[in-house]
Structure 1
Amino acid sequence: MDQQKPKDYLGVREIAKLAHVSPSTVSRVINYPERTSDDVRERVNRIIEEYHYVPNQMAKNLFSKSSNSLAVFINNLTNPFYALLLQELGQLAFQEQYNLLICNTQHNRNQEQDYLSYCQSVRTKGIISIDNHPTNIYGNLHSSMKLVSLDGKVDSVHYSSVTSNHYQGINMLMNHLVDLGHRKIAYAADNSNLHAGKLRRQAYQQLVGWHHNLPYRVDYVADFECSIRAGKDIIEYYMHLPDPPTAILCANDSMAIGVLMYAQHIGLKVPEDLSITGFDGLNEDFSYPRLTTVMQDYKKIARLLFDDVVDPKRADHVHHEVVDVSLLVGETTGPAKKQVYLP
């Protein structure tokens, strides 16, 4: 066979020329091999194998209503809990032969719009929106493209959502601290203004007075950056109050670990001088001593998000799932023994 070196990316026409068949025959061998003869299949497949042909998936997508790709729109790739969730979504996608596109929106509406336009152009099967700001950019989403959101209903009538039971989690932490004798419990809020953070803050505000009959103190609720480095600011703010708390309930584990690290740095004993809790449940070995926190079921959350896009039985209907959480008692909480003041 007189073979010429093909161009870098071998196409259907080059394969057809090398195999002495028509391009349509090559397409049938690739997509419907049962419709071709043994001799033709052997010739075409030999060329494909020899030149390591890879089908142009994007081109195939243009002729279908959807592709085998899913997109995750996420605003903060540095959040450790989101990293666990993305890892699980990646595993599910790999197992079920889907490509996972990670779109880092960074709270930028224009960036989110550009990602959405790209996803529609390549016929992405669906979008999983993780704790993004409410937006109306999905109003013209093609009917073939599914959308599900985590911790924030984009459009509760037309699109599904999944969320952890944030009220349940804050209630578990409050019950735990109150049972240990704490009456001065502060809440370090996440200043990102995202839906999950709002739900946790509201739960704390409701539970302090209504359920536990504790006085609600404005100075015990303050906003901080959602990061480990916020620990210094949290400690310096609360522990310099005229009447500092004996426990700090942090909006997430990253903030709680930052508080733990800075408390240890300045000589505060945890939990003897100060009890600290988080929320997310990264894993049992993420800090020392081990953090008392709320465990989110990231595996179940990932499964629900994934199925709401790819499983016809779920994707064809709107669901709003609330996933239960559990309390992990570590070594960062203990009995309220004494009042500690910083100089």
Structure 2
Amino acid sequence: MSTIRDVAKLAGVSTTTVSHVLNKTRFVSEGGKAKVEAAVIELNYVPNTIARSLKGGSSRVLGMLITDANNPFYADLIQWVDQVAYRYGYNLILCNTQGSIERAKDYMVMLNQRRVDGMLMMSSDARQLPVSSYGTMPMVMMDSGPEQAGYDRILDDSEQGGYMATKHLLASGHRSIGLLAGPLDKSNSQNRIAGYRRAMAEAYAEVDERWIQSGEFTYEGGAEAMSKLLDQPSSVTAIFASNDLMVMGAIRVAGKQGLTIPHDLSIIGYDDIPGAKYFNPPLTTMSQPLEQLAEQAIAMLLARIETPEREGQRTLLPPTLVIRDSVAVRKPVEK
């Protein structure tokens, strides 16, 4: 197996120069860099990142903990995070908890043992993990992590998103607006509910508490919440769903009951997943700035790695409204 000394000898440079090229820690002339890279390829040299981290250096590896990699929203975000990390010379270890707290704990142990340079946490499971399980690694929370942990946080402004979505339905002439909320123990669900209530209150629109039904952020969760909503004696003309997957389940239930979107029922989602524009009809939804989220999260994490003692930062990224065809303009009822 080739060593860093073999690479240095073949390239005609010092081992220090090889290290700087591989770790991108100091400027090396283009000629020297090309010689090192050519030697690495010829010798098929693979740096021992674990050994390097044990010596106190950088592993050039970041961890990312997420709840469900199958969710199109997460899948899209992961691609952006991976692109940004790669651009900065880091590899990404992805840990999919699938909603299991035990898996989340095991992954945290593994990442600490691997001595990853830092951690991105975009998992609602973080709120149930003991802070002690985080160890001392630099970390950025990209979801509803515990405030008291003192880590950097970059979040979607879910309260403003819920407000904007409901305001759009109100501006389209709807007053009886239902809400398919996510799980009530998740802060982003509560924030979107708060935004919905604020918009309804500003418009002096009555909220029947039976119009607010919760479910998981899944197709099944949306279907179950929609079934409960449509079973209520007072009907709605429009619905704000807390994510796009819930919309898909809700539309299926509506179709089974003979309701068409948006003729009989308008609906707006949240996340703007890649398939949202291919819904039938194309879905009006709230879009989260995933590229900006990935860029800022990595930038915050690298700053934390560089200066571990700095004060925790908190950033809210505003969502944007994407108007398509799932919301109909409702004419005022003549008196």
TM over 0.5: yes
Question: 2:317 pairs with 317, 320, 323, which one?
Answer: 323
Kindly indicate whether the alpha-carbon contact (under 8 Å) linking 2:52 and 2:58 is maintained by their aligned counterparts in 1: no
Task: Return the alpha-carbon distance in structure 2 between the equivalents of residues 67 and 275 of structure 1.
Answer: 50
Amino acid at match of 1:139: S
Amino acid at match of 2:130: I
Task: Return the alpha-carbon distance in structure 1 between the equivalents of residues 153 and 171 of structure 2.
Answer: 34
1:236 aligns with 2:242: no
Task: Return the alpha-carbon distance in structure 1 between the equivalents of residues 318 and 55 of structure 2.
Answer: 42
Match for residue 29 of structure 2? none
Task: Return the alpha-carbon distance in structure 2 between the equivalents of residues 248 and 182 of structure 1.
Answer: 10
Residues 1:319 and 1:45: Cα distance change in structure 2 (over 3 Å): closer
Residues 1:53 and 1:26: Cα distance change in structure 2 (over 3 Å): farther
TM superposition shift of 1:334: 0.8
Paired residue total: 314
TM superposition shift of 1:105: 2.1
Amino acid at match of 1:100: L
Match of 1:311, SS state, is helix
Could you say what the CA RMSD is over the residues aligned between the two structures, in angstroms?
3.3
Residues 1:163 and 1:32: Cα distance change in structure 2 (over 3 Å): closer
Match for residue 19 of structure 2? 31
Match of 2:219, SS state, is coil
TM superposition shift of 1:317: 3.7
Where do 1:273-288 residues align within 5 Å?
273-283=264-274, 285-288=277-280
Amino acid at match of 1:108: S
TM superposition shift of 1:186: 0.7
Residues 1:330 and 1:65: Cα distance change in structure 2 (over 3 Å): same
Where do 1:1-343 residues align within 5 Å?
10=1, 12=3, 30-31=18-19, 51-133=43-125, 134-135=127-128, 137-139=130-132, 141-143=134-136, 145-156=137-148, 158-191=150-183, 193-208=185-200, 210-264=201-255, 266-283=257-274, 285-311=277-303, 316-336=310-330
CA distances 1:118-166 after superposition (whole Å, capped 9, x unpaired): 21222211111113231453336554x2111113243456211011121
TM superposition shift of 1:302: 1.1
Question: TM-score normalised to the size of structure 2?
Answer: 0.81
Residues 1:239 and 1:58: Cα distance change in structure 2 (over 3 Å): same
CA distances 1:24-54 after superposition (whole Å, capped 9, x unpaired): x996684379xxxxxxxxxx99996555232
Q: Could you list the runs of 5+ residues in structure 1 that have no partner in the other structure? A: 1-9, 20-24, 34-43
Q: Could you list the runs of 5+ residues in structure 2 that have no partner in the other structure? A: 22-35
Kindly indicate whether the alpha-carbon contact (under 8 Å) linking 2:182 and 2:216 is maintained by their aligned counterparts in 1: yes
Instruction: Calculate percent identity across the aligned residue pairs.
Output: 24
Query: Relative to total residues, which structure has the larger helix share, 1 or 2?
Result: 2
Structure whose alpha-carbon radius of gyration is higher: 1
Range with bigger deviation, 330-339 or 79-88? 330-339
Amino acid at match of 1:186: G
